[in-house]
Copies of this chain bind each other. A is one copy, B any other.
Amino acid sequence: MAEPTAPAANRFAAGAAYVDGRFMPVGEAAIPLTDWGYRRSDVTYDVVGVWEGCFFRLDDHIRRFRASMEALHLKPRETDEEIKAILERLVRLSGLRSAYVAMDCLRGVPMPGMPRHPAYARNYIAAFAVPWVSVAGKEMCERGLHLIIADTRRIPPESVEPRVKNFHWGDLTRGQFEALERGADFAVLLDADGNVTEGAGFNVFSITGGTVATPERGALDGVTRLSVMELCEDLGIPCEVRAISAEEFRNADEIFTCTTAGGIMPASRIDGRIMGNDRPGPLSMRLHDAFWAKRAQGWHAAPVDYEKVDEVG
């Protein structure tokens, strides 16, 4: 028997979710209060965007998600192909043409009679698709982001590996409160050596003398970050992956951030200093425009099949 497809199933209009085998409206999706995925933040996740009916770099996100799960000894029952099918079904249920699609793998709790150790838990997948929201609004993107360098330091890879996408945002959240107190939009965190890492959900790039640079260590290997590197190569713009000191960052000609939930977002201020003419810089905008132009041409796009009829279950 077929489920109603998106137009009729308006209870999914605010978003659709999947939790451990079951599909539901996103407002009903919940995880147990006692789950270690919550109580120990013992979970990894990934987020893929859907834009104009197409996933962007879906296979890259699935590959990274699987690598993150393996790094944390998480083994859900779903294969990569099954996860892809779940994500597509979530988008189809919601009917959304632009969506933010998250996938989590939670530890669960140790099975009855087993030791209280994460190795003995049954791990499971949760996922949802909701209307796409940029981390920065249109107005903020046009005037350029106002960034600060936070006093709070990024959690080091020796403790929690940032390349394994995780919800350990305590440092990033502290940074967001620092930004609010200082009248800025977002904070960028340094590592213990005083080099730039990343912000709350975004990678960073600086541009000095026509050369683009992004931190080598202490930050997520972002999929949008990878796309920026590919764009630089296409456009013949030199791009370096290396340590960037706070001083270099503060004195850059231009700065931009990037994320799945926003694409390329140029900054116009850093620690109160105005860059250029207090607007997004020219090289940042060239990359920004090239990014969306290529997206419009179907770059790394995988179309969602909105007409497919799903089995119930």
Contacts and interface: CB of A to CB of B under 8 A. Distances in A.
Contacts of A177: 73, 118-119
Interface string A159-184: 11000001111111110110010000
A169 B32 contact: no
A22 interface: no
Given A155-B160, A177-B73, A169 B29 contact: no
Contacts of A192: 156, 158, 192
A126 interface: yes
Nearest to A128: B33
A274 interface: no
A19 interface: yes
A17 interface: yes
Interface residues of A, number: 50
Interface in A120-139: 126, 128, 130, 133, 135
B40 A34 contact: no
Interface of A: 17, 19, 26-27, 29-34, 37-42, 45, 72-73, 104, 116-119, 126, 128, 130, 133, 135, 152-156, 158-160, 166-174, 176-177, 180, 192
Given A30-B31, A33-B104, A160-B174, 19 more contacts: A19-B33, A30-B33, A33-B128, A34-B128, A38-B38, A39-B45, A42-B170, A73-B177, A116-B133, A118-B177, A119-B176, A119-B180, A153-B159, A155-B159, A156-B156, A156-B192, A168-B168, A168-B170, A192-B192
